Every structure is written in structure tokens, then in C-alpha cells.
Amino acid sequence: MGRSADQPAVESLRVQTLASPQCAAGLAEALPAPLAPRPLPELVAFETAPGQATLLVLDDLLLPQASPAWLRALPRWVVVVAASQAAAERADAADRLFLRLPEDADDALRRALLRAAMLHAVGLASAEQLRCERELADRDLFELSEVGAALMQSQEPEVLLARILTEARRVTASDAGSLYLVDEDQLRFRLVQNDSLDLLEPPGGSLAIDPTSFAGYAATTRETLQIQDAYRLPANAPYRFDRRFDEANGYRTGAVLAVPMCTPKGETIGVLQLLNPAAGSYKRRDQQIVRALGGQAAVSIENQRLRADIERLFEGFIRAAVTALDQRDPGTSGHSERVAAVTCALAERADGSSSRPFDRVRFSRDELRELRYAALLHDFGKVFVSEGVLGKDRKLPRDREASLLGRFQRGHEVLEARFHAERARYLSECGSAGFQAFEKRLRSGIDAERNRLRRFEAAVRRANEPRVLPAEMSADLAEMAGQVLVGADDDEFALLEARDLDYLAVPQGSLSPEERRAIQSHVVYTHRFLEQIPWTRDLARVDAIVWAHHEKLDGSGYPRRLGGEAIPIQTRMLTIADIFDALTAADRPYKKALPVEKALEILRSETAQGRVDADLMELFLASRVWQLGD
């Protein structure tokens, strides 16, 4: 939007009358200034500008040079007056004749006619001036809107600041400029651009927010400061020019424009300082447009700061959520972080791939952040699952395990009590005759019962481990299920209750079907939690990504049995990372970590069965991104 040499500025209205030298001499006495004609030897020397009311007196001397095409091409604010019949016919043929001066007219009549023609020229020039001003204003408004849109698209702080300064220099055709941001009680020097010196980086440092510097004055007064020459300041000016930069770099600072960047609330957040416009000095329009741009810049910077604050808020919230989950389920501590690292690494590999089918897969910075948040929160619903289920490392719940082992202890006590009771009964009824043989038989029977109890207890302890249940162990449990012992008070109690058998008969792992459903419900709990959060637009899909992370492509997953394209690609990445970490993590109390190759073998099997995305699995294997989770 800087002015070029072929776009003259619209100045205040001026008038001129042009005629051949002979005609000008004849009209000179009759027409006082500013109507006095200026001699025009040749039409090639004819010049005018928008806003300059121009009267062209065409006579027979200029007529040979004034073709109809030349006359038609004259600017609209040029009024043609004919001084001869031939000139009148030529101008009329070009549709440019305003009036003809009668050859026998006296000075008074000629003066009146030329004044009328000049008034018409002034009207045309005024209209042209208004048109140019409107056009310039429209262009300024359009460019400001373009600048505003460009600033809104700049999300990285340094990119935004560079864009602000670049646009300010462009619209004013400035050779150089600098940008300062308010930082507590200082103006921090953030950016400098200088075409003459090819500078793009700031020299560092800061200024006090006071009127002693150009930028400090603008920040303090919140007013635009325009300096015609930095080396020729008024003696009573509160600001001074620091020449050290010029002297160190061989530069000459001339005109300066310092504009405060103010928010709609009136808060000054920085200063734009521009130097050395191509026109030599800054115009009123430059002040207006840079002031408007400064306001846009302030809003953009404030929006970016607000965005950064929101990001920090979300980051803190998510960190707190992950910490809460780790404390709730220490056995899986670190899982969310590792899964997030691997998932995002896989997404970046897909984004950077030029091979099908990932050549059209691209993730923006916001989309990667959205995916990272989803991966960090994918298991948050586990905080709503019973703690006893989350950290369950054996098949029996802790209370039932203690109760069952207590019954075995009681069984041993019952057998010991029976031994002593039978001895006493024999002695009471039969005396000492044959007692030794009886006691030997009794001890043998009791010992057999004790050994049987020990075998049963060992079977229970083995069955209680989270492993595949052998067939012979199932037989021991079935035999044990029918055993009833009689206590000292003739009360009967079962060694193995039906509920105990249900737990111990789980064929693999430590969870009963009911407990497994409780664990799986964490997906629903996570969804209910995440859907309540008023996510920003760039994080709107966090819930959708998380909710499907236990779904499988063949529809065999849970909780909604989704399949195929219903599962987002981000979720498919999360699923692979989640499965891999669950298999290889060394922090699970209920299972041993699998070697990487074994885990990859399981993932390949899932892929072969159509449950896991084959293309992503191939990329996962090729990129070895799982190493980032370590």
C-alpha cells in the first residue's frame, strides 16, 4: 500500500491554464492569476495530476499536435476551450469541447467564459479528488482486512511478530522497523527489520517505559509520534535519539513513525517503530493506517497470549488428570505418557510420508496436540473403576483369598482337634489296651487328611495366579468344591465356596467376567467425562478419538462394536500404541512383560485377523517408533 512514483498523492486542489505561447500572451492581460495561462510550446510537455483543475486553451498553433485520439485520452478533469473554429471542430469531434472563445470577444467576456470553464474544471477535479480518496480508502480498508486475516492465521509468536512488522513496513514503504513488547515495566526489543542492512534479528535489550525514547514516548502517551528527521529534534522535545545503532552500522535514520499497539481496552502492549519511508516523510494517511494496523496487531497478540494461556490451562489439567490416574492405578503408571509419545510419533511418520496410503494424510500442529491429549486421557475412566479390580494381581479378590486360606488353616485346626478328641474318647471307653495301635492308625488317617488339605491349598495357590489354568488343576478344584468340614461345635463349612470356584476357574488372567466388564467400562466412563468438557474447536475430536480406542476393524471390539471407516485413523494409531505398551510394560503387577518380538508377533496376528490397521502396522514396524516410549 506504499505510494509508487506513478501514483501521485492527492493534494489540495490546484488550478492551471495552458495555452500556446502566442495565445497565452494574448490572454495574459485579460486573465489575472490564477487564471493567467502558462505557455505550452508543445503538447508533449502537457502534464496534469489528479486534483489539479486544468484548463487547456486549444488554438490553431497547437491543433496539429492534438489528434482526436489524444484529446479523447485527456483525463476527465481537463476542460478544453477552443480559441478557433478549427480547434472547436476538432475538440467537438473528440467529444471534449466545453466552449469556444469568440474571436471578437472583449477581455471581460473572455474572462467570464474562462472563469466559467475553470469553475467546471474545479468541479471535475474535486470529483476526481474525492474518487481517488475513496479509492485509496477502499484500498486501505481492503489491505487492512487482508493484513488482519494474515495476522489471524499466524499462530507461532515469532511468526506473528514478524508478520506484524513486515506488514507495517510494507503499507508505509519503510526501509526499516522495529517492534517492542511491554514486559512488566520495560519495552522489550523483540524484532528488527532493515532492508538496507539486511537485518532480521533484534540486537536485544530493552527500553524504559518513559518519554525519553521514541518508542517509550509512544508507549507512555499512547499517541503516534512522527519525526521528520531523527537528527533534528526540537530542543524542548522530551525524547532523544540514540545514534549508537546508526554509527555502528553505517546507517542514517531520517523520518520516524512510532505507533503504540493498543488493545480495545486501551492497554498498550507494544510499539511499532518505522524508519525511512520511500517518500522521504510519513503522511497523515501513514499514521492512520499504521495506527489501525497497530490495533489489529494488539488484538492478534492478545488473542495469541489468550490461546497460550488456554493451552497451558489444558496442559495443566491433562497433566493433573494423568497424575490422578497414575496414583489411582500405580500398576500402570507411565502407560499414558508412553502411549502418547508412540502415538504422536506414528502420526508424524504418517504425516511425513509421501507413499500411499499416507500421501494424503497430513496433521496440523493443532491436530497433533489434539491426538496427544487424546492419548494421554485414553484411560482416564479407570479412576471410576474399583481400586480392587484395577490392581488385581490374582484371581481371588484379597478378602476372598484371605478367607479361603483361613478356611484351610481352620481345616488343619479341626483335624488336630479331631485327633485329640478321638484319643480321649478311646482312652475313656477302652482304656489303655490297644491304645498305641489305635493312635497309630488315627495319626495315619489324620496325616492323610492333612496332606490332602495341603494338596488342595497348593492347588488353590497355583490356580490363583493369573495364568492359563491346566486341566489337572481344574480337576483338583472340582474335587475340592464338594468338601465339607465339621468344626468343634459340629458346624459345617465348605473348604471352597461356589464364588471362590468361579474366580479360580477363570481360564486366563486374573479377572472374572464381571471384573473384566468393569475394566472395559472405563471406556464409557472416559467418554462421559470427556464429553462434559467444553473443548476448544481445535480439540473438538479428543472424545471421538478416545472413545473408539478399544474398537477393532472387524467389529469385534467394545463398547460399540464399531468397524472399518467408523474408526478414525488417529484412533487406529492409538490402538496400536496402546496394545504394544500393554504387552511390553514392566509395571503391571498381574502379568510379566513380554519381549518386544513376542508383542510384535501378537500385533501381527491381530493385523492378520483384520482387527488392526495393516498399513499403520507396517509403518509402525518400519519406523520402530515404539522405542520412543522407553
Decide if pLDDT at 268 tops 80: yes
Q: For 374-414, write each residue's pLDDT tens digit.
A: 999 999 999 998 888 877 888 888 888 888 888 888 888 88
Report the alpha-carbon distance of residue 481 to residue 497 in Å, rounded. 7
Q: Is the pLDDT of residue 281 over 80?
A: yes
pLDDT band per the 50, 70, 90 thresholds, residue 566: very high
Phi, psi of 393 (to 5 degrees): -105, 0
Confidence (pLDDT) at 7 = 36
Residues 80-98 have a mean pLDDT of 94
Please report the pLDDT score of residue 296 as a whole number.
80
Tens of pLDDT along 37-78?
889 888 888 888 887 889 999 999 999 999 999 999 999 889
Tell me the C-alpha distance between 595 and 598, whole Å: 5
pLDDT at 8: 37
CATH of domain 329-387+519-629: 1.10.3210.10
Give the chain's mean pLDDT. 86
Measured distance CA(138)–CA(142) in Å, rounded: 6
What distance in Å separates the CA atoms of residue 347 and residue 518, rounded to the nearest whole number? 31
Does position 423 have pLDDT exceeding 60, yes or no?
yes
Residue 372, CB half-sphere, CA atoms under 13 Å: how many? 18
- The cell numbers describing 432, all together, are 489303655
CATH superfamily to which 154-307 belongs: GAF domain (3.30.450.40)
592 or 448, which is more confident: 448
Tell me how far apart the alpha carbons of residues 450 and 415 are, in angstroms, rounded to a whole number.
7
Would you say residue 370 has pLDDT above 80?
yes
Structure confidence at residue 149 (pLDDT)? 66
Q: What DSSP letter does each residue of 592-606 carry, written as one string?
A: PPPPHHHHHHHHHHH
pLDDT at 5: 32
**471 confidence band (pLDDT: 50, 70, 90):** low
State residue 6's pLDDT score: 34
Q: How far apart are CA 83 and CA 23, in angstroms?
A: 8
pTM greater than 0.85:
no
Q: For residue 11, what pLDDT is reported?
A: 38
Residue 164 has pLDDT above 80, yes or no: yes
Q: What is the DSSP letter of 37?
A: P
Q: Is the pLDDT of residue 154 over 70?
A: no
Of 88-97, 403-412, 585-594, the poorest mean pLDDT is in 585-594
393 in Cβ contact with 464 (< 8 Å): no
Residue 355: pLDDT band with limits 50, 70, 90: confident
The residue-averaged pLDDT of 418-447 equals: 88
Higher pLDDT: 493 or 120? It is: 120
Topology of 14-133 in CATH? Rossmann fold (3.40.50)
Task: Output the CA–CA distances (angstroms, integers) from residue 124 to 48, 52, 70, 183, 189, in the order listed.
Answer: 13, 9, 19, 53, 50
Among 27-31, 63-67, 136-140, 354-358, the minimum mean pLDDT is found in 136-140
Strand (E) or helix (H) holding 104? none
Note the pLDDT of residue 340: 95
Position 353: which residue type? Answer: S
Each domain of the chain, given as residue ranges in start order, spans: 14-133, 154-307, 329-387+519-629, 398-509
SS3 (DSSP) at 610: coil
Residue 190's pLDDT is what? 87
C-alpha cell at 528: 462421559
Q: Return d(Cα 104, Cα 254) in angstroms, integer.
A: 58
2: pLDDT strictly greater than 50: no
* Helices (H) then strands (E): counts for the chain: 21, 13
Q: Is pLDDT larger for residue 415 or for residue 602?
A: 602
Q: How confident is the model at residue 525, as a pLDDT? A: 94
Residue 198 corresponds to which cell in the numbers above?
Answer: 539486511
φ and ψ of 561, to 5 deg: 55, 45
